[in-house]
A = this chain, B = another copy of it.
Amino acid sequence: MEPLDAIRALLAPLFPGLMGVQLVEVTPERVRATLVVRPDLCTTGDSMHGGAFMAFADTLGGIATYVNLPPNSRTTTIESSTKFLRGAPVGSTVQAECTAFHKGRTTMVWQTLVRGADDRLCAVVTQTQLVIPA
């Protein structure tokens, strides 16, 4: 099984699977994914729920850290901050791309840009992952 398929299989029964996150690319430098804005991912007003934006991005940051972990270690998100710039309407598809600001031995810092129709920026999520000896 390809690494990308292995990660997809791992996520399927978990929260990213419930939401319908579709991984597109996973490398140590970059993780990309798409998400269809289903009605049950929305808040009132037929617009993607802020929590769905954050969960979508957090998934990418976690995977990005995972593929950069040294042997015998694991990771957990220790903090995350999000700016919401623009809504994403029900039925649209959002795309996210996650890249690193810092890949250290103790922490990694990732930023995920979530874009909607016409490639317009909807949300920016910056998160810190702790690297923990297993």
Contacts and interface: CB of A to CB of B under 8 A. Distances in A.
A101 B18 CA distance: 30
B124 A101 contact: yes
A44 interface: yes
Nearest to A10: B44
Q: Which range contains the number of A residues in contact with the other chain? A: 35 or more
A109 interface: yes
A58 B62 contact: no
A55 interface: yes
Given A14-B43, A15-B51, 7 more contacts: A14-B39, A43-B62, A49-B59, A55-B55, A79-B128, A80-B82, A83-B101
10 contacts: A14-B49, A15-B51, A49-B58, A51-B58, A54-B80, A79-B128, A81-B126, A83-B128, A106-B130, A111-B124
